[in-house]
Amino acid sequence: MADFFHNGWSLFISVITLGGILACGLLLWSQSKVKVKLDADGKPLPVQTTGHVWDEDLTENNNPLPRWWMIMFYLTIVFGIGYLVLYPGLGSREGTLGWSAVGKYEEEMKAGEAQYGPIFAKYQAMPIPELARDPQAAAIGERLFLNSCAQCHGSDAQGSKGFPNLSDHDWLYGGAPETIKTTILDGRQGAMPSMAAAVGGDQDVRNVANYVLSLSGASHDPIKAALGKPKFAACAACHGADGKGNQAIGAPNLTDKTWLYGGGINNVMEAINKGRGNMMPAHKNILSEAKVHLLAAYVWGLSNKQGSVAAVSANDAKAIGNLTGAAEASVKQ
């Protein structure tokens, strides 16, 4: 309830809540006045109906509500009022017990840190290549990856259109252990401007696209590629004169066959005409540095299979079940 930006909203919620409880109480009270009618001899009169009839002779009687049912309903009203006194529920009122979801979350996070913090601290002190060879660390890193990275890069880390494959050796900003860690902590912001005006008209865009394809040996028109080579000078500032890119600024290598948005003449022309924009969010406010260290080791190991744990056996996975569960429970720390 702390998200209310005006006190009027808190008052509005309070009125609606208390008004609903009061309305339920008044409804019950009105129904408690309905009694079974008796004749002069004290015998119950025939029960009135609501007027609803089904299948010719099934009628809905208008009997008074059972006393036991009404008592239970009154008890729920008493319980609701007691709850609102003890816990948050009336707008921004905190309740007499001072309980809050945020406080409970922070309490659980502190307990998790006290129990599992030493484990993460131990792994944080290990170099990333060494950490990637540890089965327990690999299992925790995998769980962190599935919680924080798989949404974009896929559970197999092979990415999709616009999202890099993390299991190969092609890196926009470099695949060194500390570089990967920096990427996770601070995120990345990649932007390629539209280059259509810089290279010329529509035909020049097609020529440059053919030249770009020729750099990786992809299918292209050699005559148009030759015409596009001089125009490629407008792209060399980022991709280099040889087209091999620049990891310092995240400019892709155009001489390999790895394409973030797909190869082919149409995709390359689209990139030149419209530019590209990519953003990976920073995780330093989501994961602790110790967890990022573990996560970086797992990601580094995906493309360095010989220096990492490629897979964890069933017995290993069972033995470290508690650790992976702990990593998942505290992934937002």
| Tens digits of residue pLDDT in 83-117 | 999 999 888 888 999 898 889 989 998 998 888 88
Report residue 327's pLDDT band, with 50, 70 and 90 as the boundaries: very low
- The token duo for 175 is 């695949």
Q: How far apart are CA 243 and CA 257, in angstroms?
A: 12
Please provide residue 163's backbone torsions phi and psi, each rounded to the nearest 5 degrees: -125, 120
333 vs 139 pLDDT, higher one: 139
Dihedral sign computed on CA atoms, order 98, 100, 102, 103 = positive
- The token duo for 69 is 């049912």
CA dihedral 136, 140, 142, 143 (to 10 degrees): 140
Residues near 315 by beta carbon (within 8 Å), at least 6 away in sequence: none
DSSP string, 142-208: HHHHHHHTHHHH-TTS--BTTB--SSSS--SS---HHHHHHHHHH-EEEEE---HHHH-SHHHHHHH
- The token duo for 120 is 């993460």
Asked if 95 and 87 count as a contact pair (C-beta separation under 8 A), the reply is: yes
| Tens digits of residue pLDDT in 311-321 | 443 344 444 44
Q: Judge whether residue 2 has pLDDT over 80.
A: no
Q: Judge whether residue 210 has pLDDT over 90.
A: yes
Asked if 141 and 297 count as a contact pair (C-beta separation under 8 A), the reply is: yes
Q: Judge whether residue 138 has pLDDT over 70.
A: yes
The model scores a pTM over 0.85: no
Q: Domains plus CATH for the chain?
A: 7-86 (no CATH), 108-187+282-329 (1.10.760.10), 190-280 (1.10.760.10)
Please provide residue 44's backbone torsions phi and psi, each rounded to the nearest 5 degrees: -60, 135
Q: How far apart are CA 273 and CA 263, in angstroms?
A: 15
| 59-90 exposure pattern, b = at least 16 Cβ within 10 A, e = fewer | eeeeeeeeeeeeeeeeeeeeebeeebeebbbb
Q: Judge whether residue 330 has pLDDT over 90.
A: no
User: How confident is the prediction for the chain on average, in pLDDT?
Assistant: 87
Mean per-residue pLDDT for 27-40? 78
| Tens digits of residue pLDDT in 225-254 | 999 999 999 999 999 999 999 999 999 999
Q: How many CA atoms lie within 13 A of 178 on its CB side?
A: 1
How confident is the model at residue 167, as a pLDDT?
94
| % of residues, the chain, pLDDT over 90 | 66
Question: Of how many residues is the chain composed?
Answer: 333
